[in-house]
Structure 1
């Protein structure tokens, strides 16, 4: 295991322990938005992650949902979502995670997704088989939509919601089941280990998907990424197990 991956695991699990300690307790809200919630715990979690990363690599850049730190000119960038699934966390739904991806010269080289409730750690390095709690994982072998379990994300604007509802209506009648779970990173991790078969969402940020993208690709999946058609600066993604074809729903 590389030093980058070991530090990513250390940081993700440290932040996750803080989240598990506070899950179900009264929470301080920094900002309540129509389709999102910003918690004080998001900020504290990212600070824990940042402190651990910069203790080991003081010259690296940390780019996160709650701000940036370190040497922002560095060619090594840590892409951090301290709580992916904050709304779930706030409402007491035990489906959220810490997501940390590492880029070197613009290329993803390592990633960790940690679910502190289930105590599940997905870890990956470029060119190596990804793992879940140390055991190798692969995407599912399901190749037909009629056998597939697909998740469709519903994003944070009216335009994205309308596009997602239209896509959901078309997909849901073709697949075995659909799921809406509320964490992009965990959706990608679930495809990587065969629990889900595909995921589409209209409006995401890089920190939502950095670790999950590498995890999925190294597990045998496929990942399509385009500029969002409903929000400038955001991303549209379509992730699959590498066998399901969702071309007509893009």
Structure 2
């Protein structure tokens, strides 16, 4: 496991340098949708990550947001989001990250997670059975247990049906909590819960690569994760992550 977390950290840092070096420059857009954007840099960053991982283990498999599956047929599967928060990145908002998780391919058992924010020079990491860290220091979720004390982030997805579900949920939650935030990166939302900056995160429609590393971080830091199939788009999931003390489920 030490070798794998070292590989993940190397890949995340090199990818982070690439996207930071290009932050604020003119971007090549591969696809532009009403509520989403796909950049050429997304693809290039994922390729960089894949080259590093497969350079060490050519038999490993990589599941990424860009370009689908690559690699061999080994039993380690990496789950990669090269730029989580691409819309933020495209608009010059410095809140985005590289997210890299790994799991046993046959059983789906998580092995590790790394989230790297190159703009803040922050790296969260965790391995199976280990202590989660931020820049090498142990972290844990917040101790807040009352909704009135909580800071909660609610994600709003791309489809109308997901937005409608999110608006209604946001209305219920926002009346009860201390503050709400909409930040634009699922992986960083989970990382922030893991280190106590946020208390909960909810989103109706999210993909595996957005949350694979962060879910492991939150659980290892003492938090709680609830996932289920999304009601609005097949192949995606609903997620609710908390610090493990906050009872947010009645408001979902």
TM-score range, shorter chain: over 0.9
String of CA shifts for 1:149-208, please: whole Å, max 9, x gaps: 000000010000000000001100100000000000000000000000000000000000
Q: Which residue of 2 aligns with 1:159?
A: 161
Q: Which residue of 2 aligns with 1:22?
A: 22
Distance in 1, matches of 2:74 and 2:209, equals 17
SS at match of 1:165: helix
Equivalent positions of 1:59-78 (< 5 A) are 59-66=59-66, 67-71=68-72, 73-78=73-78
Q: Which residue of 1 aligns with 2:139?
A: 137
Distance in 1, matches of 2:111 and 2:222, equals 16
Please report how far the alpha carbon of residue 74 of structure 1 lies from its aligned counterpart in structure 2 after TM superposition. Answer: 2.3
- Of 223, 230, 233 in structure 1, the residue corresponding to residue 235 of structure 2 is 233
In the alignment, is residue 127 of structure 1 matched against residue 129 of structure 2? yes
Unaligned 5+ residue runs, structure 2? none
SS at match of 1:6: helix
Which 4+ stretches in 1 moved above 6 angstroms? none
Please report how far the alpha carbon of residue 249 of structure 1 lies from its aligned counterpart in structure 2 after TM superposition. Answer: 2.3
SS at match of 1:54: helix
String of CA shifts for 1:62-101, please: whole Å, max 9, x gaps: 1100122101x32210000000000000000000000000
Q: Which residue of 1 aligns with 2:53?
A: 53
Distance in 2, matches of 1:167 and 1:94, equals 27
- Of 183, 206, 209 in structure 2, the residue corresponding to residue 207 of structure 1 is 209
In the alignment, is residue 3 of structure 1 matched against residue 3 of structure 2? yes
Q: Which residue of 2 aligns with 1:217?
A: 219
Equivalent positions of 1:25-104 (< 5 A) are 25-66=25-66, 67-71=68-72, 73-104=73-104
Distance in 1, matches of 2:158 and 2:2, equals 36
* Residue correspondences, number: 249
Distance in 2, matches of 1:249 and 1:68, equals 37
Distance in 1, matches of 2:211 and 2:128, equals 15
Distance in 2, matches of 1:28 and 1:4, equals 32
RMSD between aligned residues? 0.7
Please report how far the alpha carbon of residue 248 of structure 1 lies from its aligned counterpart in structure 2 after TM superposition. Answer: 1.3
Distance in 2, matches of 1:48 and 1:83, equals 12
Alignment TM-score, normalising by the size of structure 1: 0.98
Q: Which residue of 1 aligns with 2:182?
A: 180
Alignment TM-score, normalising by the size of structure 2: 0.98
Please report how far the alpha carbon of residue 35 of structure 1 lies from its aligned counterpart in structure 2 after TM superposition. Answer: 1.0
SS at match of 1:100: strand
Distance in 2, matches of 1:173 and 1:157, equals 24
